[in-house]
Amino acid sequence: MKLIVGLGNPGKEYAGTRHNAGFHWIDRLAEVLGITLKSEARFHGTCVRIQQNNQECWLLQPQTYMNASGRAVVALSQFYKIHPDEIMIIHDELDLLPGEIKLKKGGGLGGHNGLKDIAAKLGTQDFWRLRIGIGHPGERSAVTGYVLHPPGKEEAQLIEQAVEKGLETWPLIVQSDCQAAMLKLHTKT
């Protein structure tokens, strides 16, 4: 992987919301690695380049709001000639329960506006996704309010557990061993 993108909305009012699960994952990874993302106007986000195990990788948090996430992803990926199959998007997933986390490449976009914009701007859906379960409110009409609000205490703990489980796969992800990362994430223990 050459580009890891955590999706979310910028601003303090969105910081603890379900929709910012991708931002949270990147924040936790930066904390574990002892690094800081810096604002980069030309990439429409905060980012940092890291070196690990002789691998170079970018971490990015678009600051364009969720619906325009593709602008940041394309700006950085085109500048550094990063192919879509070398990109991993970390995002909230309505179709997974809180506490669940799954990794996949390609496939449908599940109505996620951030993914839709990224796929449209890249011209393909053939990129990796680390999907952090946030659950579904039950009614389609309630989704917007649901994702833009913080989860309850129990749900927040489950989402945090999923984030931590995802972080355990980081050494595999940075080495592009996504098959092993999938096996680790998807195997019940």
Stated pTM of the model: 0.96
> What does the block give as tokens for 123?
């011209």
**Catalytic entry in 19, 24, 44, 112:** 19
Tens of pLDDT, residue by residue over 65-120, are 999 999 999 999 999 999 999 999 999 999 999 999 999 999 988 889 999 999 99
Q: Any idea where the domains of the chain sit in the sequence?
A: 3-186
Tokens 């972080």, residue located: 167
Please give the sequence-ordered ranges of beta strands (E in DSSP) within the chain, or none if there are none: 3-6, 38-40, 45-52, 55-62, 87-93, 101-105, 128-133
Which CATH number is associated with domain 3-186?
3.40.50.1470
Catalytic, 19? Answer: yes
Strands 87-93 and 101-105: unpaired
Kind of pairing, strands 101-105 and 128-133? antiparallel
What are the backbone angles phi and psi of residue 58, rounded to the nearest 5°?
A: -105, 140
- What are the tens digits of pLDDT across the range 127-166? 999 999 999 999 999 999 999 999 999 999 999 999 999 9
